[in-house]
């Protein structure tokens, strides 16, 4: 049974519903992330779970108990804020000890736990520093230690890395994942950065204006987005609206006017609903139209409109009878503007969405 369960929850600000009939289940020990653009309701969902917000309707069940009306300070959940929210007037040690002292723990045990936690986040020796004398990464680690030391039943992160620079972000997310797995603590992680979510999560929920569009393992979402919205959000830049499909054969046969395309079925037969074909710019291949394509079918001829250099590859905007396609391709001698080309759509990379 799921540890956490949001059941038919609705939240409104100023009579405008942000979440409506919202459902979410999380298994014990897993890290689930909420991914979506700014304003889609991720923070609202997290604050609802934390108890900072009250639902207009619905229930929040935790470990089989109804937590809907349990106040924040009785929930024993750890919350890590985007702004770190350390206590400015307290040393690193006192910040981390705060929750334990509220629990009336003996100083000797407080000391032992704080010291151990600071070691886990690699901040041994920083006990006496004030937060303002720490770097962003160090502050965030204090915030994590402070939330973890109370041995919370659930750990909540709201865009914890977005104020850090790129390298540190990568290191910190690995840290967060390591600690989370080491302690086996159930976690909800909010971010608008797909790479961040994909890299550390057991499950990703992609959100769109207060609704979960897809909830799945990161690789599933990455390969098989379920909807156009999810596909766009995770970088499927090219779409073809097909007019008919047939699932009779080994592959799915698609057509648009006189054009025929094939899309591979998924190994387990699931997904691939709808008639909108989606493919990433990285997965398309370009051939000079003078040269014969190595495979027949799944091609479209066009003309290079714009070519830009991305460092690792070139990016082309190719104009075709079905509109403009974006293609990223590594090559030594790039195509020139105006050159006639053939675009090849590998059938195992072409995904159908709703």
Partner 1 sequence: MKEGNRGLSLYTLLVFVFLLGPLVIISITSFEPGTVLKFPPEGFSLRWYRNIFEVSMFMETFKTSIIVSMLGNLLALLLGVPAAYALSRFEFRGRDTLNALFLSPVLIPGIVLGFTLLRYLIVVYGLPIYAGLLIGHTVIMLPFIIRVIASSLANFDFAVEEAAQSLGAGRLETFFKVVLPNIRSGILAAVLIAFLESFNNVDISVFMTGPGVSTLPIQMLTYVQNYFDPTIAAISVILMVLTAALMFIIERLMGFAYFTKR
Nearest-angstrom CA–CA distance, 304 and 318: 5
Give, in order, the Cα–Cα distances in Å from 310 to each of 155, 232, 281, 288, 290.
Answer: 38, 20, 13, 20, 26
Which C-beta is closer to Mg ion: that of 43 or that of 214? 43
User: Looking only at residues 39 through 68 of this chain, which bind ligand ADP when binding is defined by CB under 6 A?
Assistant: 39-44
Task: Determine the interface stretch with ligand ADP among 10-18, 127-135, 245-253, 272-280 (rule: CB under 6 A).
Answer: 10-18
List 6, 9, 18, 24, residue binding ligand ADP (CB under 6 A): 18
Among 13, 268, 331, 332, binds ligand ADP (CB under 6 A): 13
Given the complex with Mg ion, which of 43 and 298 has the nearer CB atom? 43
And the tokens for 107?
């100083």
Q: Among Mg ion, partner 1, ligand ADP, none, what does residue 88 contact (CB within 5–8 Å per kind)?
A: partner 1
Q: Is position 201 an interface residue for ligand ADP (rule: CB under 6 A)? A: no
The whole-angstrom separation of Cα 155 and Cα 35 is: 17
| Minimum gap (Å) between residue 166 Cβ and ligand ADP | 21
φ and ψ at 343, to 5 degrees? -100, 130
**Which residue number, 143 or 206, has a Cβ lying nearer to partner 1?**
143
Which residue's CB is nearer to partner 1, number 84 or number 344?
A: 84
Judged by CB under 5 A, the residue of 33, 43, 191, 194 near Mg ion is: 43
Nearest residue to 228 (alpha-carbon basis) of 352, 322, 42, 349: 352
Cβ–Cβ under 8 Å, residues 351 and 223: yes
Of 158 and 283, which CB lies nearer to partner 1 in the complex structure?
Answer: 158
- Closer by beta carbon to ligand ADP, 13 or else 309: 13
Residue 325: both structure tokens together:
């396609």
Select 15 or 268, whichever has its Cβ closest to ligand ADP: 15
Q: How near is the Cβ of 44 to Mg ion at its closest, in Å?
A: 8
**Which residue is it, tokens 């592959």?**
251
CB of 331 closer than 8 Å to CB of 325:
no
Q: Between 107 and 348, name the residue whose CB sits nearer to partner 1.
A: 107
Among partner 1, ligand ADP, Mg ion, none, residue 328 binds (CB under 5-8 Å by kind): none
Nearest 5 degrees, angle CA 253-CA 258-CA 262?
20
Intra-chain end-to-end CA distance of the chain, in Å: 30
18 by Cβ neighbours in 10 Å (0-12 / 13-18 / 19+) ranks as buried
- Site size toward ligand ADP (CB under 6 A) is 11
Q: How far is the CB of 159 from Mg ion (least distance, A)?
A: 6
- Crossing angle of the two packed helices 166-183 and 136-148, in degrees rounded to 10: 20
User: In the complex, which residues of this chain contact partner 1 (CB under 8 A)?
Assistant: 50-52, 72-79, 81-83, 85-89, 98-99, 102-103, 143, 146-147, 150
Residue 35, judged by CB atoms within 10 A of its CB (0-12, 13-18, 19+), counts as buried
Minimum CB separation of residue 59 from partner 1 in Å reads 21
Q: Which residues bind ligand ADP (CB under 6 A)?
A: 13-14, 18, 36, 38-44
């Amino acid at each position: 049974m799921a540890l956490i369960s949001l059941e038919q929850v609705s939240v409104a600000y100023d009579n405008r519903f942000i979440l409506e009939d919202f459902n979410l289940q999380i298994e014990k020990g897993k890290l689930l992330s909420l991914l979506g653009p700014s304003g889609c309701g991720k923070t609202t969902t997290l604050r609802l779970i934390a108890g900072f917000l009250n639902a207009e309707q619905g229930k929040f069940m935790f470990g089989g108990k109804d937590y809907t009306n349990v106040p924040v300070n009785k929930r024993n959940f750890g919350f890590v804020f985007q702004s770190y929210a350390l206590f400015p007037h307290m040393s690193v040690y006192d910040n981390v000890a705060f929750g334990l002292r509220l629990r009336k723990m003996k100083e000797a045990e407080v000391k032992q736990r704080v010291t151990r936690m600071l070691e886990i986040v690699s901040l041994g020796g920083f006990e006496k520093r004030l937060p303002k004398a720490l770097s962003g990464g160090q502050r965030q680690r204090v915030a994590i230690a402070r939330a973890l030391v109370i041995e919370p039943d659930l750990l909540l992160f709201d865009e914890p890395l977005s104020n850090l620079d790129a390298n540190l972000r990568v290191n910190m997310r690995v840290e967060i994942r390591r600690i989370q797995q080491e302690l086996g603590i159930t976690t909800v992680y909010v971010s608008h950065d797909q790479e961040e979510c994909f890299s550390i999560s057991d499950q990703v929920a992609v959100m769109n204006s207060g609704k979960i569009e897809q909830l799945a393992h990161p690789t599933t979402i990455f390969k098989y987005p379920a909807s156009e919205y999810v596909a766009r959000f995770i970088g499927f830049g090219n779409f073809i609206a097909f007019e008919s499909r047939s699932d009779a054969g080994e592959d799915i046969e698609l057509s648009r006017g006189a054009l025929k395309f094939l899309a591979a079925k998924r190994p387990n037969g699931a997904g691939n609903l709808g008639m909108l074909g989606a493919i990433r710019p990285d997965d398309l291949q370009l051939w000079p139209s003078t040269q014969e394509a190595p495979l027949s079918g799944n091609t479209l001829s066009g003309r290079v409109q714009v070519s830009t250099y991305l460092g690792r590859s070139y990016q082309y905007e190719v104009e075709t009878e079905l509109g403009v396609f974006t293609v990223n391709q590594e090559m030594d001698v790039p195509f020139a503007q105006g050159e006639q080309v053939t675009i090849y759509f590998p059938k195992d990379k072409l995904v159908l969405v709703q």
